[in-house]
């Protein structure tokens, strides 16, 4: 039971980092975090069509990938 609670708590805490990342990159408009997806989009599609959509999708994928290491780090801290 304690292990189950630890996993749930770790997941909830781990969601904070991706949420903050999305808030900074997607919801607050232009930021330095969006330079990398902008350059990737320009390399793939030099015309610049649907640039905002690409940047938002890129940021969401990065946020999803941040959940895994965040969860593992928080879970290991809570186990100690």
The residue ranges of every structural domain in the chain are 2-79
Give residue 48's pLDDT.
Answer: 67
Per-residue pLDDT tens for 24-49?
877 776 677 778 888 888 888 877 67
CA-to-CA dists, residue 22 to 10, 48, 50, 71, 75, angstroms: 19, 22, 19, 17, 22
Per-residue pLDDT tens for 53-69?
888 888 889 889 989 99
Give residue 29's pLDDT.
Answer: 67
Q: pLDDT at residue 76 above 80?
A: yes
CA 35, 69, 61, 16: dihedral to nearest 10 degrees? -80
**Separation between Cα atoms, residue 74 and residue 79, nearest integer Å:** 9
Give residue 30's pLDDT.
Answer: 67
**Helix crossing, 51-79 with 35-44: angle to 10°?**
130
Give residue 1's pLDDT.
Answer: 58
């Amino acid at each position: 039971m304690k292990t189950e609670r630890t996993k749930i708590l770790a997941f909830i805490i781990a969601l904070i980092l991706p949420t903050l990342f999305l808030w900074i990159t997607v919801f607050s408009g232009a930021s330095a975090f969006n330079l990398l997806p902008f350059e990737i989009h320009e390399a793939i599609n030099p015309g610049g069509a649907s640039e905002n959509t690409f940047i938002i999708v890129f940021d969401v994928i990065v946020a999803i990938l941040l959940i895994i290491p965040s969860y593992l780090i928080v879970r290991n801290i809570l186990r100690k």
